[in-house]
Amino acid sequence: MYTYEKFNLRLFPWFLLIISLYLSIQGMYIQAALFGTPGGLFAVSFRGFKIDPKNKRIKHYDRFLWFYFGKWIEYPKPQYVTVTSIKLGVKRNLPLAIISPQSGKAAQSYKMNLVVEGKLRFIPLTRGNREKLIEEALIIGRLLGIRVLDYTSHEKQWLG
């Protein structure tokens, strides 16, 4: 069993905490508790995935305290793990502006996918730092007995 998990900060629960703070300043303590309790519980979470190679299944989950939300799905025969780069350019079709990790015209982001056979084609695993993703991809590759493709530059490289 392989587990990958990273810290996740959610914005909406912080608004609940701000409303709760305002309500408690106004003396409405019961209403403040109604807004503050879910805000406090869900403001900080962990996102991750578990791979069970024995039963050929994967689980993407969100973890709040010790509660896990997610379900197991079976995956077909894996072919390889890939780490790819994504350009975050100035022209993007998103509803809200995203702060780029670098200044300039375009910034790089990286994501890791598990490429499988069949209609599913690939399973997105996570996004993050290039070096950390390559390290995690090598661990997953050894666990599943598959190769790792580093597609973060113009030259494709097979690792491990």
Q: For 92-134, how does the pLDDT look when each residue is reduced to its tens digit (9 = 90+)?
A: 555 555 555 555 555 778 999 999 988 888 889 988 888 999 9
Whole-angstrom distance, CA of residue 149 vs CA of residue 78: 13
Is residue 128 within 8 A of residue 6, CB to CB? The reply is: yes
User: Does residue 159 belong to any structural domain of this protein?
Assistant: no
**Same domain (yes/no): 84, 67:** no
Query: pTM of this prediction?
Result: 0.72
Is residue 59 a contact partner of residue 71, using CB atoms and an 8 Å limit?
Answer: yes
What is the predicted pLDDT for the residue at 11? 83
Locate 45 and state its tokens: 């979470």
Task: Say whether pLDDT at 4 is over 90.
Answer: no
Q: How is residue 123 written in tokens?
A: 């399973």
Mean pLDDT (whole number) for 52-78: 89
Q: Count the domains in the chain.
A: 2
One domain, residues 101 and 132: yes
Phi, psi for residue 61 in degrees, rounded to 5 = -145, 160
Cβ-based neighbour number of residue 97 at 10 Å = 7
In a domain, 160, yes or no: no
Task: Indicate if 61 and 34 belong to the same structural domain.
Answer: yes
